[in-house]
Amino acid sequence: MSSFVIEAAGLSRSFGSTRALAGVDLSVRTGESLAIMGASGSGKTTLLHCLAGITRPDAGTVGFVSGAGRVEVTGLGERERSRLRREAFGFVFQQGLLIPELTAVENVALALMLNGMPRARAEEHGRGWLAALGLAGMEDRRIGQLSGGQAQRVAIARAQVTGASVVFADEPTGALDSATSADVMRALLDSTTGQGRTLILVTHDAEVAGRCSRIVDMRDGRIVGERVSA
Ligand SMILES: Nc1ncnc2c1ncn2[C@@H]1O[C@H](COP(=O)(O)OP(=O)(O)O)[C@@H](O)[C@H]1O
Ligand SMILES: [Mg+2]
C-alpha cells in the first residue's frame, strides 16, 4: 500500500460567523483519486484550498509528503506556500482560467516559464503535453478557438506540465455536457493517477465522482461519509 502524500488533521475555518470547515481529518495516498462531494456551501472548496495551501485554516494542520520529506504546509509563509503550489501542485478549475489572448501552447508553457524555464523549452514541453491530451494540431489556436472540452484539456495540460505530484481540481467538468465531461475525466485521470500521481477533485456530479477511487461526502463543514469505488 502506498504512503500518504497529503495528511490533514483538525482543519477548521470560519468566514465571519460562517463555519466553512468544522474539524476535518483527511489523508490522501499517493496515486489515489479522491472525490469530495456535498451540497453547495458544505465546505468543499474551502477544504480543497486548505489542502493546497491556498487558504490558511484557523486551526489544524496540513502536511505534504514527497521524496524530499514532509513539509508542514500550514507552517509555511505566503511566499513558501506560493512556491510549493507552483512547483509541486497543479490546479484545474471549472472555467479553466486560461489566458484568452494566448495560444494553447503559450498557456501551458507559461506555467513552466513562471518556474524559470526558457520559453523555447517550455513550449516544447507544452506541445508534448497537449499531444498527450489529444490536442495535437491545436497548439497554436487561441483559447476562444477551442471547444469547452478542448479548453479544459489545455487547463489539464497546464496543471501537469510542471510535474505536479498532486493535482487539485474544483468542479473541473462543471461547465461541460456529460459526454465531454467523461472525456475530460478520462484525460484527467490518465494524466494523474495513470502516471502515479494524485488527484483530489471537488464535484457535484456522482458520475464524475464514481470514476475516482474514493469519495468523501461533506455536510456543514464536516466529512460525514466515505466510500471506496470498485
Ligand atoms: N471567502 C469567503 N468569504 C465569506 N464566506 C465564504 C468564503 N468562502 C466560503 N465562504 C462560505 O463558507 C461556506 C463553505 O463554502 P465553500 O467551501 O465554497 O463550499 P462549497 O465549495 O461546498 O460550495 C459557505 O457558506 C460559503 O458562503
Ligand atoms: Mg465550491
The best mutation among 45, 51, 56, 224 to test binding of ligand 1, ranked by most ligand atoms within 8 Å of the C-beta, falls on 45
**Strands ordered across the beta sheet of 222-228:** 89-93, 166-170, 198-202, 33-38, 214-219, 222-228
Mean pLDDT of 63-73: 94
Contact in structure between 34 and 212 (CB atoms under 8 Å): yes
Q: 116-175, pLDDT tens digit by residue?
A: 899 999 999 999 989 988 899 999 999 999 998 899 899 999 988 888 999 999 998 888
One-letter amino acid at 139 equals: E
Give me the residue spans of the domains in the chain: 4-228
Kindly report whether the global pTM for this prediction surpasses the value 0.75: yes
Q: Residue 51 half-sphere exposure, CB side, CA atoms within 13 Å?
A: 31
* pLDDT for 67 beyond 90: no
> Tell me, which fold does domain 4-228 have in CATH?
Rossmann fold (3.40.50)
With a CB cutoff of 8 Å and minimum separation 6, the contacts of 179 are: none
Ligand 1 in contact with 95 (CB < 6 A)?
no
- Give Dmax over CA atoms of the chain in angstroms: 51
Average pLDDT, the chain: 92
Task: Provide the pLDDT for residue 187.
Answer: 86
Q: Using 50, 70 and 90 to split pLDDT, how confident is the model at 115?
A: confident
**Cβ atoms within 10 Å, residue 104:** 27
Q: 17-33, pLDDT tens digit by residue?
A: 999 999 999 999 999 99
Atom of ligand 1 nearest to the CA of 38: 22
> Which residue did the predictor score with more confidence, 38 or 176?
38
